[in-house]
A and B are shown apart, each in its own frame.
Chain A
Amino acid sequence: MSAPQPTTLSDRIQQIPRHYVYLLLAGVVVWQLLFPIRLPITPSVPTRGVYQAIAAVPDDKLIVITTDWDASTQAETGPQTQSIIHACFQNKKKFVIMNLQPPMGVKLANDLAQEAAKEYGAAYGVDWANWGYKYGYENVLMALAKNIPNAIGDDFYGTPVAELPIMEGVTDIHQVGLVVIVTGLSAMTEMWIGLIQGPYKTPLAAAYTAVMAPIYYPYLDSDQLKGMLVGAKGAAELEVMVDRPGKAVAIMNVQSWAHVLIVALILLGNLGYLFARGRTGGRQP
């Protein structure tokens, strides 16, 4: 329902046209992108958990990174995936990327992995691989737990995964040392926990968008998740830990001041509300 036209100052403060709010926010974003005020970033406990989980994977086991995200959440999940890949390469852990939904995630993640692989001199099929997009949700996981080559079939490039050197000795879920879920979609974690972590005790870590992360704190609390990256903040913290400050750190500069602006606007709106309430003698304006 549209609000009545503001007449007093307190009403005007409460009803700043949204276009000005958008302009202010855009201004803050541009200002911080051009003239960033860098503040220190300290890795939090959930982020350290992800790094420690990666470092703790035995050398003869594989890390599976599921990149269940697309371009819409790329600002958060892209840097998360990138910093996880860096952590894997730096700790000399072999990893594969795969994707259950949506399909474009595996292509975006592949580009990130290729770029990082150049930096570390990693070879595709030996140090890392891309299992590709696999349709079937729970059915893929159930099959994967028993027989990975059969369940996965061909990799992203059409090569049978059984022919890749990285897959030597990898038959079922017991050769997977860690699954890292990077996603902007709900319901993926529950599948992995129910079908892989629960029955086979495969360690699980995750990276979520900031909006959905609060839902998964119970799993972190019960140690079903060894660690969790929360949005761009988690990605920035992991970038700091792997000493590769990049997009996420830049995003955090912007996000800091955007949050400050939103808090300031809320306070302003409430000031106007309190003034208006005082004017009307405590009655709702």
Chain B
Amino acid sequence: MGSLEHANWFMRLLFLSLCTIIVASVLLAQRGREMFIRRIPGLTAIEEAVGRATEMGRPIFFSPGLDSINIVTLQALAILSYIVRLAASRATRIIVGLRSPTVFPIAEESVREAYDAAGRPENFRPEDVRFISDEQFAYALGAVGIMAREETATNFLFGAFYAESLILAENGRALGALQVAGCPEPTQIPFLIATCDYVVIGDEYYAASAYLTREPTLTGSLVGQDICKAIVIALILLGVGLATILAPDRNFLLTWLGGGG
């Protein structure tokens, strides 16, 4: 088996194919081609959750996760933008709690633009976009404090969460809030499922942002990824079959995937 330090012809072919599929899907989507994404169950809950806050006359709390600027946080901000537009159209207040000081100005701008897009620029309150703390658990406790003091009716937890997710979600539940969460971290899914009313898990998180925003790059990328996953599944099935009938030293797929130069 070769080393994985450099690619062999099979790795080059495989990566080139996967990259071509993804890039082609993104470009096709950017050029206006409609791409189908199935309905994500957790997303119907967003309107319901915003509606609950409106009926109760209490604010919404949104946390875009703990990471700094990366794809997960940017997608969380895209979902925030969608929720703010929805809330703004119903004159419902939304409070955003942030952990990363780098994300803070971007989130503030995103919320301001969402209020503008909803035609309610006068409803934007800069003090409702709050930097809490850059320390993980200080952030969680600060966010819980906001939920308790502001008596939020609905909590949205979308983004990268880690050990503090249970602190946020369990306290939110104890305070009586309806909670919708979306997190791509596999380790936190059990805790969110046990404490939140609706959870968007794993790859559905990326699909959620594509579904809500209909951003061509996100939609095209998602469709491209699905095609790539089908190729990976086919390779797995082929590998399982070959490993069953061939000895390891005759298993050519094993050699190709070793990647030796």
Which A positions have Cβ atoms within 8 angstroms of B?
1-2, 18, 72-73, 184, 186, 198-201, 211-212, 215
Contact = CB atoms under 8 A, between A and B. Distances in A.
Dominant secondary structure at the B interface: loop
A102 to B, nearest CB: 10
Contacts of B197: 1
Contacts of A215: 186-187
B85 to A, nearest CB: 25
Interface string B1-12: 001110000000
Interface of B: 3-5, 136-137, 162-163, 174, 176, 178, 185-187, 197
Nearest to A211: B187
A2 B187 contact: no
13 contacts: A1-B176, A1-B178, A1-B197, A18-B174, A72-B136, A72-B137, A186-B162, A186-B185, A198-B4, A199-B3, A199-B4, A200-B3, A211-B187
A151 B95 CA distance: 44
B178 A200 contact: no
The 4 closest A-B pairs by CB, nearest first: A199-B5, A198-B4, A2-B176, A199-B4
B198 to A, nearest CB: 12
Contacts of B137: 72
Contacts of A72: 136-137, 163
B193 to A, nearest CB: 14
A126 B134 CA distance: 39
Contact of A212 (B3, B5, B174, B187): B187
A186 B136 contact: no
A199 B258 CA distance: 9
Contacts of B5: 199-200
A201 B178 contact: no
A215 B202 CA distance: 13
Contacts of B186: 215
Nearest to A18: B174
A284 B178 CA distance: 21
Contacts of A73: 163
Given A201-B3, A211-B163, A211-B187, 4 more contacts: A72-B136, A72-B137, A199-B3, A215-B187
Contacts of B187: 186, 211-212, 215
Contacts of B176: 1-2
Contacts of A200: 3, 5
Contacts of A186: 162, 185, 187
A204 to B, nearest CB: 13
A68 B176 CA distance: 37
A69 B187 CA distance: 16
A200 B5 CA distance: 7
A72 B4 CA distance: 35
B252 to A, nearest CB: 19
Contacts of A201: 3
A4 to B, nearest CB: 12
Contacts of A198: 4
A72 B163 CA distance: 9
Nearest to A201: B3
A5 B176 CA distance: 13
B35 to A, nearest CB: 29
Nearest to B186: A215
Contacts of B4: 198-199
Nearest to B185: A186
Contacts of B174: 18
Specify which of B3, B163, B174 lies most central, judged by the most chain A CB atoms within 10 Å of its CB: B163
B25 to A, nearest CB: 25
Contacts of A211: 163, 187
